[in-house]
Amino acid sequence: MSALLILLSVLLQAGCFGYLSGRLTPSGSLLLSGVGFAMAAAFFSCLLLVRRWRGAASRAAPRPERRRVRQLLLVVNLLTAVTFLSFYVALAWIPATLASGIETALGPLALAALQLLPGGFGARPTRRTWLHAAGLALVGGVLAWRLTDLDQVHWPVLAGVVLAVVAGAGASGLALASKALGRLGVDPVTVTAHRFHLTYLGAGVLYLLQAATPEESGVPVGLLPLIGATAVTAPLFVLQVGLQRADPRIAMTILTTLPGVTYLSEAAWGGPLDLVGLGLTVLLVVLAAVSAVPVRRAPAERRYVRGSRPADRAGSAP
């Protein structure tokens, strides 16, 4: 079920990214970020207050866990701001397929690298994990390369690529922190009510520095609330639920399909359809499906999972 929620989030975001690609201006990206994330924060904060008023809030955690929860919520706030502001600004400078391709292709590799750090979340990555992450990064990178016009490379394009890389690393950190909050019993409504404050504040400050008007956003002003709800509020809550329930590796693997689905969305909104790009999209989806299958341990490995040796169990050793 958690995998289906993440996939639903991918479909909602890809549909919006396909429409926004080539339309948003840099100031429009910041305006959309501010509107969308402020709407999400306001909606889920009100929902959380209603639940607390009705006595339906989650159980209070022990004091040491409450401190850990506050720390993780701060981390999620910081990572959300870095990830989404980087991505939405990149969306104004490079095509949506390239931006989402770079972000998600690097996700599994960044996740595996983060799990190697001292105090990292989850189990250390296996050789199979590294191979699948490298394969997804390769196919995703080739797809992004194929769908990008390199004759127009200039500094905004390079800046957009760097921001997409930053967004990919931030998304991996978000997956790990969200899973940790889920283990501590923090429900997705509480997390979503707290995680967007730095994002809309940062977007608002950067937008004011642009000294632009809403009419210069590149999309009709009246559609901004609807796009914000469709591209941010709904998919990111669904994604938060999935991230807190799913294995981070599986979550990041499913998210690698975002560029391919975004490419199909761009084509549906009137963009060109490239047969090689379509084939790479299919290959990326198949590879993601194979990589997302959980590894099953052999019977012998399960039998001695508690660390006992065969000789110990037979009674031949002290």
pLDDT digit string (tens) for the chain, length 318 residues? 778 888 888 888 888 888 887 777 878 888 888 888 899 899 999 988 888 787 655 555 555 578 888 888 999 999 988 988 888 788 777 777 677 778 877 888 888 888 777 655 556 777 888 888 888 888 877 877 776 665 556 777 788 888 888 988 888 888 888 888 888 888 888 888 888 898 899 888 888 887 778 888 888 888 888 888 888 888 888 888 888 887 877 888 888 888 778 778 878 887 777 788 778 878 878 888 777 776 554 444 444 344 444 434 333 333
- Tell me the two tokens of residue 1: 């079920």
User: Alpha carbon of 58 to those of 103, 134, 189, 257: distances in Å?
Assistant: 33, 39, 10, 33
Report pLDDT for 300. Answer: 43
In single-letter form, the type of residue at position 24 comes to L
pTM: 0.74
Tokens 């967007």 found at: 196
Contact in structure between 236 and 12 (CB atoms under 8 Å): no
Report pLDDT for 78. Answer: 92
- Tell me the two tokens of residue 121: 């979340």
DSSP 125: P
Please write down the long-range contacts of 45-49, taking CB distance under 8 Å and 24 or more positions apart.
45/193, 47/189, 47/193, 48/189, 48/190, 48/193
3-state class of 297 per DSSP? coil
